[in-house]
Structure 1
Amino acid sequence: MAAPFDHTDKSSWYFGQMSRQDATDLLMEEKEGGVFLVRDSISIHGDYVLCVREDSKVSHYIINKIQQNEQIKYRIGDQMFDDIPKLLAFYKLHYLDTTPLIRPAPRKIEKVIAKYDFKGSDQDDLPFRKGDVLVIVSKDEDQWWTAKNCLGQTGSIPVPYVQKYDGNESIPDSTVQLPETHSPSGSQAEPARRPNVQRKLPAMAKVKQARVPNAYDKTALKLEVGEIIKVTKMNINGQWEGELKGKTGHFPFTHVEFIDSES
């Protein structure tokens, strides 16, 4: 009989950017085998890793994102799936090494407290006031995380505006001394904005920086300065997807600029 967890509930099993060691430490705290999580691959952008507690160890299974004609497939070992939920459903019923998948790992609740006011400038931002306590939902980028406030509202927050909160911290007056570079509104200068994911796609962009991808990364595009690429998807992690010279693949958004000046 299949395990009771919902393999279609991505929020329960997808942990995003997470180091191998952090995943191992989290899963080693579990007593039973079959507890798992899915994280981003550190070595290959676009790939994933299925981390599973098995006996007295944690196994890390690479999930390769494969482009087949016009379709994306996900490969683990010699098995191929249309998407990750179908992969997880399969391993509810089949053993990996020593166990099938039983349940996702529990998430540790991580809280931060605001050091400054943040009004927000994007519709995806989560405004807050100094002293507000927020729950971290995901760490999408180094400088921008997704968080939830006490009202259950979710959005993006700038990391330099907050600090770790364990329940006893307060924000001393010295903390709110503004750095030399600050905005006219009286709060800390925002970190560099993440790409505008609201732009209408597909859109044409010009390559401004050459890139030769890792030979093992079959889904990455090779870029030459001046080439025109059709951007088809803008992921918040900065790895965009597009079409160039008849090939579909991913590339860093920092290497291109849109041809038209859409505001």
Structure 2
Amino acid sequence: MFDFEAVEPTDLSLKVGDRILVLERNDDWWRGRCNGREGIFPANYVQKCETPTGVSLPILCRARAVADFEATAANQLTLRTGDVVSVREKNATGWWEGEIQRDGHTLAGWFPGDYVTPITNEGAAQNTATALFDYQAGQSDELSFRAGDVIVIVEKKDADWWAGHKVDSPNVRGLFPANYVQMR
């Protein structure tokens, strides 16, 4: 709604139109992440916007909860042993951010990384690539993805076209231009 210029080192500067991932709500000042930076900002300078259907943050990996974790803050994610988490971010303090599906709802938040173990049997983790650009399928046998998505490479048809699926959508497979991704 309004630009906000950081005054303190812990503040997060914002421009009208920026999309902010809100990490914590604390009365009039919220903490969030925007354009690779994290900090606090006045809550009345922003308004909630819905994520368009079908748009999600890139998934780094999938992991299975090995122990229960009970959220103690609004920005945390309660885990139950066996939950499968789509991990979107890992920070230096050992906390991971991700989402789970429970009772038909998507729940998202932060949790300690040592409460989960990465799922490694999802199609050779060494054979993955990161999308460099958005790609919109032009044919029914092609795979659409967004920049930052992690793609599991199933087959390298030739030097120009590969086959694969997004790590978080193993049942949706298709062809895509090889020069749109970078091997991990």
TM over 0.5: no
TM-score, normalised by the number of residues in structure 2: 0.31
Normalising by structure 1, we get a TM-score of 0.22
Higher relative contact order (CA 8 A, sep 6+): 2
Structure with bigger gyration radius: 1
Higher strand share: 2
